[in-house]
Amino acid sequence: MTVPLPPAGSPPPGDLLARYRAGDLRALARAVTLAEAGLPGARPLLRAARERTARQGGRAVVLGVTGSPGSGKSTLTDALIATLRARGQRVAVLAVDPSSPYSGGAILGDRIRMLRHHADAGVFVRSLASRGALGGLSARTMSVLSLLEGAGFDWVILETVGVGQSEVDVAAACDHTLLVLTPAGGDGVQAFKAGIMEIADVIAVNKADLPGAARTVRELMAAQGLGAHDEHTWMAPIRQTIASKADGLDALIDAVEAHRAHLGEAGLLARREARAEFEVRSLVQERLLRLARERSGDLYARVARGELSADEAADTLLEPA
């Protein structure tokens, strides 16, 4: 749906706030647009979202879906929607698509993949551009995620760009992280190398009808056993799925819910505090970069000419106005 923007900086109409609180999906869509644009009018809506989330004790399951490009994350997310809806759960999906480094635009193709759910009032799908964020998430992603969580959905799924080993921000943005890998693609070996294995709470070996699926599962289990662990360590369950056929989805959802039970109330609270820290830090970084652009002048040219060191230029940019 297309909702016109209000003038920049204007507060949201009172009826928009009331409609958002009442669960109106058109109001939610407009609230997301305001938050993505970073307009002051989004702030009362974000406050209302956080108040509702706090009152409900963080009832929504906030799941991050990550993995390398081509692993089938979007198809798996689409199958998760269908399976959760069959269980009577309301689902919101925030799909972060890669932005062009030249135009800043994005294909936002996940809306196309999930088009079959467009008429379902229990499903809300929104795409955001990554805006070049190296961790796969833009600074505004967390604000939009808060609006979705505060809108009363049972599950909120964040599907990230898929940029390989650098994509670890998703663990700071969600309560649970689902890592999607494929057999015979080297994904298992790549996952061992850096933080992407450490962030996984549940692992899906997708396209499990391809040769090598069982081997990939064995490799992942062996890799988990190599890390430091004791009887209290959560070992990410590994589930084989065929998203295109909706195979293995119930077992995958059960694994996420088992992780939620493992965390308990205290564990979930700790993760939500970490999410709040990540959101505030992201906004601080965004504002500092904007300030640097406004103050830079010829500083970068002077660094290139050898007149200043990069450290001196950074000191200049951070000096009080």
3, pLDDT greater than 70: no
Out of 111-120, 193-202, 249-258, 276-285, pick the least confident.
111-120
Pairwise CA distance, residues 184 & 166, whole Å: 21
Q: State the CB neighbour count (10 A cutoff) for residue 298.
A: 11
Residue 2's SS3 state is coil
Out of 62-71, 125-134, 137-146, pick the least confident.
125-134
Give the pLDDT band (50/70/90) at residue 80. very high
Pairwise CA distance, residues 172 & 170, whole Å: 5
Question: Which residue, 226, 240, 235, is CA-closest to 259?
Answer: 235
310, pLDDT greater than 90: yes
Q: For the chain, how big is the Rg over CA atoms in Å? A: 21
The DSSP H or E segment spanning 97 is: strand 91-97
User: Sign of the CA dihedral 8, 11, 12, 15?
Assistant: negative
Pairwise CA distance, residues 172 & 224, whole Å: 21
Q: For 191-200, what is the mean pLDDT?
A: 66
pLDDT digits (tens, 9 = 90+) for 246-295: 999 999 999 999 999 999 999 999 999 998 898 888 888 888 888 898 98
pLDDT digits (tens, 9 = 90+) for 214-233: 998 988 888 887 777 788 88
Per the CB < 8 A criterion, the answer to whether 252 and 239 are in contact is yes
102, pLDDT greater than 50: no
Q: Name the residue type at position 105.
A: G
- Per-residue model confidence (pLDDT) at position 71: 86
User: Sign of the CA dihedral 130, 267, 249, 168?
Assistant: positive
Q: What is the mean pLDDT of the chain?
A: 83
Q: For 78-85, what is the mean pLDDT?
A: 95
